[in-house]
Amino acid sequence: MTMKMTAQFQQQVLKEMTFSPYPMKGYTLYKNNTKPELGYFMKYSREGYYDFGIGDYTICNDFSLAFEHNEELMRFGTVYMGETEFKIENSSISSFTPSSFFVIEKHIKGKQVWRKGQHFHGAEITVYKRYFDEIIKPLFPETINFNDFIANHTYRYLPLNIASIIQSLRSQGEAQTLTPIYLESKIMESIALLYQEIHASPDNTFSNQLDYGQIKIGQNRYITLSASDTLALQKAYDILTKEACHPPTIHNLSKRIFLNEQKLKAGFLAKYHMSIGEYTKSIRMTTAENLLSTTELSIKEISKKVGYHHSGNFVKMFKQYHGMTPLAFRKLGQK
C-alpha cells in the first residue's frame, strides 16, 4: 500500500507503532496505554495549514511504508535521537542522523523503513503550501517562495534562531503549556527568519548546500572543497552536535574526520554561517536553557552538565548569550 497524503502516512506510522489517539486540550496525544514504555507522540495542528509534532518513542516492530504524494509542503525541525532510513526517488541519500533539518517536499515518491528497538526523539513543524497561499502571501507578498529551495532535498541546517524556537516549542509542548496562538506566532516568526536568511545574501547556506566550490580565506586566498570535504564537514557537524558539551579540539576533530584544520574551520564557517566555537556554545546554551526550564538542578550541576568546570564561567557566558543570569532566566520562566 502506498500512502498518497502526508496525513495518511503519519496515521499509518502511528498505527504500526500501536499508538491510539487521545484528544487533549489544544493537541492530540498518541500512545499505547498498555505499553507506556513505548513512549508518545504529540501533535498540535491547524488542520490543513500546519502541524507541530513532538515525538519520544521506541519502535516495537519492523515495518516499512511506501509514499507518493503531490502535496507541496515545508518541514523543518530537530532530530535529537534516532537514525531514519529511507529511499527517495532520484536521490542518492538513504539515511538521516540526528541534527536540525529543512526540506521542501514536492511530488515526492519513496519508501521509509523502521526497525524494532529504534528510539526516536525530536520535534518538527510542517507548513502546507495552503498556509502560504491563503494566510501569509495576501498579507506579506514579499516572503519566501518554495522555489527558493531545492525540492525534496534535506538540508542539514537551520538558522540558529529557528533551532532555538523549535527547542522552546518542544519544551512548552512537553510541559503542556503551549498555546495555539503562541505556536502560530512562532511559525510565522520562523518563516520571517527564513526569508531574512534567503534574501540577506545570494551566498546563503541554502543556495550553497550542494556546491560550495571555492571558499575565501583572508584577502586574496581561496581553497576548494571537494565532495568528500563536504561530507567530512557534515561528519564534523554531527560529532559537534553530539559532543557539544564536551567538544573535541580542532586538532582532534580534524583527525577524526580526515580533513585538515584549515579546511575544517573555513569550511564549517562557510557551510553553517558560524564558527565551530560559536556552534558548540549555542548548543551548550540551548541545553542549559532547557535544563533551567524543565529541571530543578542547581546552577552548579547544570554548569557541569553543559561542560563548564567552574560555575562562574558558565554564569558569565550565559549572561553574555541570553542577557540575564541563569537564575534570572529560571525565575522568568516560572512566572
CA separation for the pair 30, 3 (Å, rounded) = 20
Determine the CATH number of domain 278-333.
Answer: 1.10.10.60
Domain boundary assignment for the chain: 2-200, 214-273, 278-333
Q: Which fold has domain 2-200?
A: Jelly Rolls (2.60.120)
For position 210, what pLDDT does the model report?
46
CA separation for the pair 148, 268 (Å, rounded) = 23
Same fold, 2-200 and 278-333: no
- Four-residue CA torsion sign, 320, 237, 226, 96: negative
CA separation for the pair 259, 225 (Å, rounded) = 10
C-alpha cell at 320: 553574555
For position 226, what pLDDT does the model report?
67
Taking CA 216 as the corner, what is the angle to CA 224 and CA 259, rounded to the nearest 5 degrees? 45
C-alpha cell at 146: 518554495
Q: Which amino acid is at 200?
A: A
pLDDT (tens digit, 9 = 90+) per residue, 205-241? 676 554 455 676 767 777 777 666 777 888 898 899 8
Task: Reduce the secondary structure of the chain to three states and give it as a string.
Answer: CEECCHHHHHHHHHHHCCCEEEECCCCEEEECCCCHHHEEEEEEEECCCEEEEEEEEECCCCEEEEEEEEEEEEEEEEEEECCEEEEECCCCCCEECCCEEEEEEEEEEEEEEECCCCEEEEEEEEEEHHHHHHHHHHHCCCCCCHHHCCECCCECCCCHHHHHHHHHHHHHHHCCCCCHHHHHHHHHHHHHHHHHHHHHCCCCCCCCCCCCCEEEECCCEEEECCHHHHHHHHHHHHHHHHCCCCCCCHHHHHHHHCCCHHHHHHHHHHHHCCCHHHHHHHHHHHHHHHHHHHCCCCHHHHHHHCCCCCHHHHHHHHHHHHCCCHHHHHHHHCC
Q: How do beta strands 50-58 and 221-224 pair?
A: unpaired
Q: What's the start-to-end Cα distance of the chain, in Å?
A: 50
Q: Give the burial class of 44: count Cβ atoms within 10 A of its Cβ; 0-12 exposed, 13-18 middle, 19 or more buried.
A: buried
Q: Which fold has domain 214-273?
A: Arc Repressor Mutant, subunit A (1.10.10)
C-alpha cell at 160: 540558529
pLDDT (tens digit, 9 = 90+) per residue, 258-309? 888 988 998 888 777 789 999 999 889 988 988 998 899 999 999 999 999 9
Q: Given phi > 0 = left and psi -120 to 50 = alpha, else beta, which region is 40?
A: beta
Positions of the chain with pLDDT lower than 50, given as ranges: 92, 210-211
For position 207, what pLDDT does the model report?
61
